[in-house]
Structure 1
Amino acid sequence: MSAGLLGRVWSELGRPPAELDGYERPAVPLAARLDCARLAADSVAAAALAGAVASGHPDATALRLSGARIATAFQSERVFALDGRPWRAFAPLSGFFATADGWVRPHGNYPWHAEALRSALLLGQDAGADDARGRFARLGTEEACLLVTAAGGLCVPVRVEGRGDTAARVATPVLEVDRLGDAAVRAILGGAAGPLAGVRILDLTRVIAGPVATRTLALLGAEVLRLDPPALTEIPEQHLDSGAGKRSALLDVRSAAGAARLHELLDGADALVVGYRPAALAELGLTASRLAAEHPGLVVAELSAWGSEGAEAERRGFDSLVQAESGISLVEGSVSPGALPAQALDHGTGYLLAAAVVTLLERQRREGGTWRVRASLRRTAAELLAGARTIEPEPVGITDAARLTETVELPTAAGVLRTAAPAVSWRDGPSSWPAPPETWGSAEPRWTRR
């Protein structure tokens, strides 16, 4: 079977094609007009195969992937429960809204984004979706987006797919890899606890894509420390859903003391996974040139919504917004815009980024050097748009009953968590999360292993 996206990223990562021998893509029950199922299967396979090879397996015959488990992992919010209570992942102000000349999609999951949206629309603090719907209906699409953005919120137009734009993006790598500088080879790690045993990962990401990447690295044995700013609280369910195996600490890295502590942590880290925009990276001293100079030998994984260069790199965004502006929502819709059956741009990019980090850690231990990989949700969207599609997808999917067989229950300080089981799997590999998620911000910002 053609390796598709997996083959492409394997080549971009400089990995031997022979490692793909025996790859059989699992059938993933995620029905869509675009080939969401293929994206899900190949991205999870990339992370799993990187882990399997790092564990001593020569090729993809070691993979043990379940289509149902992959689909459940990509739709994890549908099985999430805390002491039996489900989670509504999207807030009322995060849907599609008709304007006077089209459609927009704002994002209001975080309280400060919802507040900015209400302010831009001149709504009261308790205004809901119906109130927003009335305001948007009297505005033009571009005017609505400008008003919300100027107020500090997020709102994008629902656009028709641009075929030329998709072709141009597909001509660029899914995973952009470059060597930032020279550095000595670090000690080879790994062991009974997994191929990344002894590896330290500093996680400066939130929402889904970055946390999925670092949760996968924790599954492979790494010590993962996630840092968040104290003032920007995380959605509790979102943190728990992607927090297994990691420690969570709060640190104001914009203060002098916090910045100094951040760089002390980087001195002991093997990889940094970051979702900050370029201006913030420069402010914190985390530009590529400074990281290579001050923390030689580090593997740096940069995640963005829209891209890593130019004005796009400074834009905030989420999976749902990228789906809307890239053209995916209109491809998947009919009378009104639609969406993929999962936040597949987030999840898919997260697994691909994890595969890249494993690869570059191995390369560092062979060749030395400081390495960087960059990925974006928008580039992943282009891969979907350039691929196969159907006019009307077959109504196949995973039933609620079947989905629940692919979950695990974990005790946490907040209650008993039901969450998706690991989708990454290979022969003799890890079969369960290494530890339940911790309460957000409950750990100290320090390394505990090695």
Structure 2
Amino acid sequence: MDLLNPLDAAFLALESREHPMHVGALQLFDLDTAHGPSSVAELCDNIMSVTDVQPRFRRYPSRVLGGFSSLSWTHCEHVDLDYHVSRYAVPNPGGMHQLRDIVSGLHSALLDRHRPLWQSYLIEGLSDGRLAVYTKTHHALMDGVSAIRLMQRTLDVDPDPTRLGVMWGETRPRSISSARGRRQPRGLPTAVSLATGALAAGRALISRNLPAPLSAPLTMFNVPIGGARRIAVRSWPLARIHAIRQTTGTTVNDVVLAMCSAALRSYLLEHEALPEAPLIAMVPVSLRSEADADADGNGVGAALCNLATDVADPADRLARIADSMHHSKKLLCQLPEFAALALSALLMAPIGVSMLRGFPPLPRAPFNIAISNVPGPRTPVHLGGARLDAVYPLSFPFEGQALNITLTSNADNLDFGLVACRRAVPHLDRLVTHLDDGLAELEKATT
């Protein structure tokens, strides 16, 4: 029996039917590039033949004193892979719209706590002949950085399949160089150290004049949410983002945040709901070293970014976003790790309180939206010889945060996954259109 760390335990404790706490990914594989299996059915058969389940994917929550299931892990002796790995078919005409409908329903369903907290679905029948793989894991099991790193280790750069790596059965040995850089595990922080860290972090937050918790304006996204989800996905060439980055002296993440800001501004204007004050985004920042990036659990801090949605000019908006993000990341990087974690807990605490039964809605939003950028594979990768065309990360909205935007790099593309409360965010595809328009506006304004 393994004890959970406090952050992982919180993801289990706060989960409810209205607030599923799993993260997912929708992958699309092109068999036209494959040197191995000649059909989707053959590749699916090969995937489902992998039965050696690694320890991480045998974990499920223990029930302590007959009820509490958020304190420790138990390891399952026998994993029922017929349950955890399933095959689906897309109905006619087999397009992305039908695929999104299937994945929206799968992403809405809670994971069974009596079983290891993950599931994978092999989805056939796409009209273009590709195989879709949707996988979800509980956030207590791993964070987004760990999930993407694991995906990268299970896929091959070489299209000639010498092995078949799958998430639950990945067995590639860790390299010596990675092992040498790994930090030794430390004890959990004490209440005194967390309080000291929170005090130091709070003072730094004020002294840097950064966005403060509960300072974001209320928007149509900042409402109570239900458990049903809607997803939207889209890819853009990284070359377009890099061209803007190089011209403006900003970062890829700054340009991405500016795209999101433009999309949110246009969407809210369509609904006559754009507030005068700028929207505030919570941007997760990895606090792990390169050697620790694929460790179990969560090692992510939270930075607040002013999205400058009150600014009409795209170039000026990008400059303000870049300045806000620069100072927020600098603060996190300069703080000791325990203080950075304490600051992140301080920023996220209002969300946790709002999810507790009996507490009234917050008078102000701690932030308006979470926007995450997770580094992915830099070169084309393959599953059994089939090239990974896209990997759309799918996270979860919080209570009072009806929309989440997560993206990852995939060779020459940036793949975006939008997840929203089905009731609170109508016409989610319009946001994808506005993202595309926002990128075009930035290109025009910066060239």
TM-score with structure 2 setting the length: 0.30
